Structure 1
């Protein structure tokens, strides 16, 4: 059984571990480590970071942002990060995290939920498709 709850400061180390498990950048210096921890702390303070707990282990996370749009009367719920430990994938953890986001978006009266997924994450794309998400745009970036 998985339980979704708001993240706390005690979760910072396992949260960083999950991000690294998804090949997110690791801090190269102590200063970068402090910056990463500070960003997580900010999400926690703003109640924008939730964790999945299974058998007392932190096995997944989702971060959310309410984004006002200029051409809508309601906000969208944007999901910058959704990560499930590689050991717990295909066990319903991601689905529980998305379900939590859907309930939150409905409660906040959002007009949609939006997320991005890298081109190489084919399994993730199938997962999002299975939950009713649809690909509707291309994302562009300019690295600086």
Structure 2
């Protein structure tokens, strides 16, 4: 995998991360790479919260992947802490080379170190390739998700 580093995202990484988030039909509708102000504000909120981990996978100085890991202390499941993986994106040039697996391994290992008993994620119904990827990693489609835009 070369000189790949998985590291906390910085403000300098934000343009590349937003480009990754916008690089598919769903993301193209939701993201605004031309105005980074809300993303930089969000990064500061994330960096001030020890339960949030926004990472950039960097190879040869270039952001080639990202994900966000959120640690959630809870009361259910006998007071179990869980984690949520969101915003998993791999640069088109890097897909199929194991980078996604490396990022997910990082998230799962970090979840274990943080004392999590469960790792969960959601994936849009249309992302069937992603669903196969998550199932290969051992995730199971166990719930129906609901959202409400505010």
TM-score under structure 1 normalisation?
0.88
Deviations 1:71-126 (A, max 9, x none): 13221011121111122111111101100011101101101110001111110001
Please tell me whether residue 43 in structure 1 is matched to residue 46 in structure 2.
yes
In structure 2, C-alpha distance between the alignment counterparts of 1:28 and 1:81, rounded to whole Å: 15
- Unaligned 5+ residue runs, structure 1? none
In structure 1, C-alpha distance between the alignment counterparts of 2:48 and 2:14, rounded to whole Å: 12
TM-score under structure 2 normalisation?
0.85
Number of residue pairs matched by the alignment: 142
In structure 2, C-alpha distance between the alignment counterparts of 1:126 and 1:28, rounded to whole Å: 28
Deviations 1:44-87 (A, max 9, x none): 34351111112321010010111122213221011121111122
- Unaligned 5+ residue runs, structure 2? none
Q: Is the 1:50–1:63 Cα contact (8 Å) retained in structure 2?
A: yes
How large is the RMSD of aligned CA atoms in angstroms? 1.9
Go from structure 1 to structure 2 and tell me whether the alpha carbon gap of 1:128 and 1:139 turns closer, same or farther (over 3 Å shift): same
Secondary structure at 2:38's aligned position in 1? Answer: helix
In structure 2, C-alpha distance between the alignment counterparts of 1:60 and 1:8, rounded to whole Å: 13
